[in-house]
Amino acid sequence: MNVVISVDMEGVCGVASWVQVSPPEFGGLVNGAEYQAARERMTREAAAAAEGALAGGATGVLINDSHDTMRNLLPELLPQGVRFTSGHDRPLSMVQGVEAPGVGALLFVGYHARAGSMRGPLAHTWNGFVRNVRINGRDTGEYGLNALLAGHYGVPVVFAAGDDVAMGEIRAELGEGVVTVAVKEGLSSFAAIHLHPQEAQRLIREGAEQAVRASASAQPYTTRWPAQVQLSFDHQARADQCERVPGVTRVDAVTVGWESDNAFHLFQTFRMLAKVGEVRLNG
């Protein structure tokens, strides 16, 4: 069985500031020193998950770089034999690879809480101006969108690592069967209590092995179809733009809605509207 590991950065141990997750060309300070340290810890956590997955019986591992420009991983720190993705604008974005034959499980590493979450370090959904995503009345985050898309291909989420707020949200939405590892405890949007990085990596390795060993009984995540989806922004001007897309309706000043018959349509519509909403707010 092959597995895919989707690794983000905001939920990685030791991270609590946007500076740490921003490459130098996008705002990282001190010549990117904090970003370089965070990307190394991101890579080591992904490597730990890969090692655990292989110990748990996986025959192949694809590590999907899922943060920002999606070119953050340091390949030399990954276990030999794994493959990894690099580069943004991929067809399935953060879960590229789940559509491939033989993939039986999806693992999340470095995941964060959804936008608006209390005490979730760097909590957000997709970008800085999505305020909320609601699917059939349930608020969700990147974890829910990605889990639904993986479920479209019959692939269950079996493991997640990140901050404690995100882990609680993932268990509540995807089910208690998902093995979770909290590598830090959120204190506020920009503060957390962290495990030692080596301890975080050990727990990730052990949790991933446990999750992959038990993956045969895991069920893909799904919802009721057709699904009613609502996307809320931080400013009405973004909803103004999205309202003009065929099939999209205005719900309120900052919210638009649409209906999807399957998770692929839902996910790609969300991505498109998030892009359409990238408008200048100064006219």
Residues classed as catalytic: 124
Instruction: Report the residue count for the chain.
Output: 283
Q: Check the annotation: does 65 bind a ligand.
A: no
Give the span between the Cα atoms of 73 and 17, in whole angstroms.
Answer: 19
Q: Check the annotation: does 194 bind a ligand.
A: no
Q: Nearest Cα to 268, choosing from 235, 229, 239?
A: 229
Q: Check the annotation: does 142 bind a ligand.
A: yes
CB 170 within 8 A of CB 108: yes
Q: Nearest Cα to 78, choosing from 109, 122, 35?
A: 109
Q: Check the annotation: does 196 bind a ligand.
A: no
Give the span between the Cα atoms of 22 and 31, in whole angstroms.
Answer: 11
Instruction: List Cα–Cα distances, 196 to 111, 184, 201, 203, in angstroms.
Output: 18, 9, 9, 11
Q: Check the annotation: does 25 bind a ligand.
A: no
CB 94 within 8 A of CB 100: no
Q: Which residues are annotated as a binding site for Zn(2+)?
A: 8, 10, 67, 112, 142
Q: Which residues are annotated as a binding site?
A: 8, 10, 67, 112, 142
